[in-house]
Amino acid sequence: MSELGVFEAIYTARALRKLKPDPVPEDLIERVLDAAIRAPSAGNAQNWIFIVVRDPATRAGLGDIYRRASDIASAMYAARGRPPHMTEEQFQRMMGSGAYLWDHMRDAPVILIPCQSAPRLPRREDLPPQFQAGFEEEQRYMQQIRGASIYPAVQNIILACRALGLGTTITTNHIRLERELKDLLGIPEDVHTFAMMPIGYPLGRYGPLARKPVAEVARRDRWDGAWAAGPSPR
Ligand SMILES: Cc1cc2nc3c(=O)[nH]c(=O)nc-3n(C[C@H](O)[C@H](O)[C@H](O)COP(=O)(O)O)c2cc1C
């Protein structure tokens, strides 16, 4: 199989929510997971577990949780309104595509749940005295960077799916009802779920991805340093 270039994958791996019901071969899922575990994690902890759900009853349970959690999310989106960088058409397309998944999460042949166990902190009393006072600060720091040790793996999953001709998207709505999901899948107390990713052969097409231009989001040296737009990199 000829491999897709990394930039081609990055520029075209859009959120694909409409998926065919056809089964996805296990060796493809294995390859996706093998790409996921190449991701960086703080201290190389690799404290992740990826739950691959194919069982129809369990998928139905996940779909139900996702559906109800999405009711909360859609109320939030509606109250917040369209972000200024999106046209009304782009916003409606995103909302419509999102709404499709509320009712169809369960139909994805595979639902992948990336999980992460709590990061390991030393006991305060084992720290040198001059660092003990900063223990709460360290806890806050660990909390703030927690997602940074699982979301790179999620992005690898997105890109690997793209390269293998599969469709997926990161979703997080279910976290609003995470307790239910943890009970459904038997996930231990000190483990959290960071995404719910439907995976299957896509009905829609890949990319291109529309984003705010670099000149709008990059700064030179300082917050107030304008980015002089150069030639297009593509
Ligand atoms: C942290 C995060 C949470 C997201 N949660 C959801 C979600 O719950 N449901 C959903 O359909 N899409 C979700 N998305 C996907 C975004 O809607 C999508 O990445 C964005 O609209 C860009 O889509 P595009 O890559 O197709 O242009 C999430 C994305 C991120 C990064």
Q: Alpha-carbon distance 33 to 166, whole Å? A: 13
CATH number of 6-217: 3.40.109.10
For atom 22 of ligand 1, the residue with the nearest CA is 15
pLDDT in tens, 150-179: 999 999 999 999 999 999 999 999 999 999
Average confidence score pLDDT of the chain: 94
Distance CA 231, CA 234 (A): 9
pLDDT band per the 50, 70, 90 thresholds, residue 78: confident
C-beta 14 within 6 A of ligand 1: yes
Weakest mean pLDDT among 43-47, 86-90, 206-210: 86-90
Q: Is 116 in the pocket of ligand 1 (CB under 6 A)?
A: no
Contact (Cβ atoms closer than 8 angstroms) between residue 110 and residue 128: no
> For residues 224 and 161, what is the distance between their CA atoms, to the nearest angstrom?
38
123-144 per-position pLDDT tens digit = 999 999 998 999 999 999 999 9
Q: How far is the CA of 124 from the centre of ligand 1 (A)?
A: 38
CA angle 96–98–101, rounded 5-degree value: 110
**pLDDT-derived band at 208, boundaries 50, 70, 90:** very high
